[in-house]
Amino acid sequence: MSRTALATIHLGALRRNLARARARARAQGAQVMAVIKADGYGHGLERVARACADADALGVAALGDGLRLRSAGNRQRIVVLSGPDEAGDLAELRRLDLDAVIHHEAQLRWLEADADARTLRVWLKIDTGMHRLGFDPAQVADAHARLRALPNIDPDIVRMTHFAASDEFDNASTHAQIACFDAATASGVGPRSLANSAGLLGWPAAYRSTNATNWVRVGGLLYGLSVVEGRSGLDFGFEPAMTLSTRLISVKAVAKGERIGYAASWECPEDMRVGVAAIGYGDGYPRSARAGTPVLVGGVRAQVIGRVSMDLITLDLRNAPSARIGDGVTLWGTGLPVETIAAQAGTIAYDLTCGMTRRVLFVEDED
C-alpha cells in the first residue's frame, strides 16, 4: 500500500473560479490578472497557467517565474510584480516579453540609462498606505512623466497600488487608499489597478471602469481560498482547487487514561479506537495544528489528537467506528475547507497550500 500523501489539483475548479472572477470584473468593465506567484499558491505554476488560459494576464513574483512559463510555451501577457532586481534584468524582461512593475527610483534610473530599443511594458506602483513597495504619491506625476519620456517604454503605463486591509469591508483605510490613488493619478488618464481578490469582492469602486481600463489582480480566489477572516472561499462561491489526502495505516484500541503521541499531550477520555494517517509536517501538514483539528476519514469527520509529527498524525476515530486500514483521509479540500485547518493551526490558508513539500505527490483532476 502506498503511503504517499496526495495533493489533487482540480483544474476544472481553477477554470470555474477564474470565470466567476472575470464575470464579476467584466460587469464593471475591468480586466483580470490571474496571480500565480509562489508556484501558483502551491498548486503548480505551469499547471495553473494552463488552466488560466482565459485570463487577460498572469502575475508572477519574479523574473524566473516568467522564464519558466515562457519555456513551457506560455504566450500570455505576464507581469513581474516585483519588477527588475538589477539593471541586467531589463534585457531578459524584453527578451521574454514580460511586463515589469516599477516601484523604486533605482529601477527608474536603470530604465533611463538603458539604450535597448526594444519596447518594454511597465506598471507604475504607488504607495498609498501599504508602505511596502511603491512611489510616494508626491513622486508619482514625475515618475510617470519620466517613463512616458522614454522611447523604449510602452506609453500605455498601468498605474497600480496594493491594499493593506481590503479584506475588512468596513475598514476606512481602504477608502483612504482609493482617495490617495485618485489624487496621485488625477493629472492623467490611463489604465489602473487597485483591486486584489478582496477588492473584487468588497470594493467595486476600486475597479469600476469609467474613462480608463481597470485591472483586478485575482490571487486567493482563483484557488478557492478565502480572503476574509472567518469565511471560506465556498462562502463566496469559489471552489477549492486543492484536496490534500492520505490513508490510514494503523487502527488500534487504546484504553481510557492512556496518552497519545509526543510529550503525551492528549489523554484518552475512554476506551477508544485511534487511527494513524500517513502524513505529517514533513509533507507540509502544519505541526501547529491543535488537537481537535478536523479531518475526513472515509468521508466521516474525525479529529487530530496528540501532536503532529514529521511523518504521521493520530486521529480520534470515535465518530468513524467503521474506519479501517487503507481508508482515505482528507486533510483539506473538497468537503473540508482549508481555512478551517488554518484557523486551528494559527495561520492562513495561503500558508498551508504554499507549504507542500517534495514528498507530496501532485496529481491533476480535470473536474
Residues known to be catalytic: 37, 262
Which amino acid would we find at residue 114?
D
User: Element (H or E) spanning 24, and its range?
Assistant: helix 11-26
Task: Give the integer Cα–Cα distance in Å for 32 and 217.
Answer: 6
User: Element (H or E) spanning 49, and its range?
Assistant: helix 45-51
Residue with cell 499531550: 265
Residue with cell 493520530: 314
> What 3-state DSSP class applies to 333?
strand
Which of 332, 327, 319 has the alpha carbon at shortest distance from 293?
332
Task: Give the integer Cα–Cα distance in Å for 180 and 137.
Answer: 7
Which amino acid would we find at residue 112?
E
Which of 269, 153, 221, 195 has the alpha carbon at shortest distance from 29?
195
Provide the β-strand partners of residue 251.
275
Q: For residue 299, how many other CB atoms are within 10 A of its CB?
A: 10
213: number of CA atoms within 13 Å, CB side? 10
User: DSSP labels for 186-202?
Assistant: TT----EE---HHHHHH
